Chain A
């Protein structure tokens, strides 16, 4: 089996630009390779079509990760949306993508025609992307795959701000992102991160919320050590 495994692409965990040949298929036989965003098959090669970091998820899923302000909806992403309009069948939700997303009024745990939630314009919703392609409006759901509510739904109070998509991926990565870890040691707050570049923070004191949101916004371009140092600095200024 060792000989059958494809040689790892030299680009994995490195930056690629459009046109880079990432994999040569002529060397591999009987392999199934899953391609995610930013990759395309050209005859015998796999080429990158967008610039970013090439990621590999064992055993065989490749994709290109890039960080932007805009969000391209893809299935199974958890996002934070803002309700823009209500229709009889759907809520129209803005998720920072090219189109407005539809959230069916029944896509809630135990949702029936009788207990449709009342969301006013400007409500913040934590939801999951169910359908997404470039042609149609994406579709959301406030239930997980088994039909439970699982933290989805309206987010009350707190404060929301925008980040880039790369930053929100970093905040959701495991092990915990350094800035969140450093903040979590001293402060207590709750946080919801949307992969579309929106973050919601809530804490009992407005002071804490402001500190957490500013720390996260500033940590985008800092390395792990610098993030911790920055958080230390901010916390010292408070006390």
Chain B
């Protein structure tokens, strides 16, 4: 009961008014039915950190990677996992600790949009087939719940994955099985290969399923009858659809929503790419400044099975920035992004897992870490 009164409930007045206004095609914040709120994408200092503000909703994404053993039925592929955390500062109804139902649902919806559609190339994450692959982990933190967490969190995950770079590693040593993870100071880290950007677009249904709006706010979400989230990329490929809520929806309405979603997806994809481009280009130039070495502790370890001296290749490679994502020229003034300065500071650990893993272990991953700090 202590926390119960903090949960916000809509008043009878708000519920009636929102529905009545929607009958006349009016939304409470003055938007059109199919308008997104203002989108702002910013990036943090480290690679793979992004913050997205969609109206009042505020989400942060954080991407990390570590070397693991692959699943036994996919020995050539890396893995991608999404974790969500609903911070209590986002909403009085969120509690700290174990993720609740809505947190798990959010993680699942985003995961289904990104993984099966192969947005991130998994085969390029393989280092030694069957022994070492990169496991990419995306952590989504909800900082402020202003409605439509799915769309905002998806954009944050994509923006973070686009700017994330993993350390370069080479296979060498006596038996060709030793993996040497190179320090990012020594060799430039490598960005992920992203084939396409699946964008989630959420529609809320009111009335008897005949009133549809895009990007619901917090109050609209409390009053809506049902919701459909469609994950579409700019080519028009539908990557995932999820329908929640009790209200039934006509198939014609869903098809119309998919058409609208593909238009919006193209728009948002261009905004993300523009923001990423602005972030990456100054970062390349400031890559080798000495003061940044002091700021970020170097945690990358060089792991070898023999006692041979570490393979220190001091060759400084020219920054090999592969243009994984084609940069589109779009002059969309709404996406604002601030560029980050540092591109150094990966914190990765080379690790080895004892037992062979299969897809069953996806349900309960067991990570046994053995840390070895090279001198």
Binding site for B on A (CB under 8 A): 82, 84, 92, 94, 99-100, 120-124, 155-160, 200, 206-207, 209-211, 213-214
Contact = CB atoms under 8 A, between A and B. Distances in A.
Nearest to B1: A100
B103 interface: no
Given A84-B5, A206-B21, 13 more contacts: A84-B9, A122-B9, A122-B12, A124-B12, A124-B13, A157-B16, A158-B17, A160-B11, A206-B20, A207-B26, A209-B21, A210-B27, A214-B29
20 contacts: A84-B5, A94-B9, A99-B5, A122-B9, A123-B12, A124-B11, A124-B13, A157-B16, A158-B13, A158-B17, A159-B13, A159-B14, A160-B13, A160-B14, A200-B13, A206-B21, A207-B26, A210-B29, A210-B30, A214-B30
Chain A interface helix/strand/loop/mixed: mixed
B161 to A, nearest CB: 34
Contacts of A157: 13, 16-17
A120 B17 contact: no
Contacts of A94: 5, 9
Range, interface on chain B: 10 to 19
Interface in B1-57: 5, 9-18, 20-21, 24, 26-30
Interface of B: 5, 9-18, 20-21, 24, 26-30
Contacts of B21: 206, 209-210
Contact of B28 (A84, A123, A210): A210
A207 B17 CA distance: 11
A82 B9 CA distance: 9
A129 B24 CA distance: 38
A146 to B, nearest CB: 28
Contacts of A206: 17, 20-21, 24, 26
Given A94-B5, A100-B5, A206-B20, A159 B15 contact: no
A8 B59 CA distance: 48
B303 to A, nearest CB: 50
B111 to A, nearest CB: 34
A193 to B, nearest CB: 15
A158 B20 CA distance: 10
Contacts of A209: 17, 21
A159 B28 contact: yes
The 6 A-B pairs of least Cβ separation, nearest first, read A206-B21, A159-B17, A122-B12, A124-B11, A100-B5, A122-B11
Contacts of A122: 9-12, 15
Contacts of B10: 122
B13 A156 contact: yes
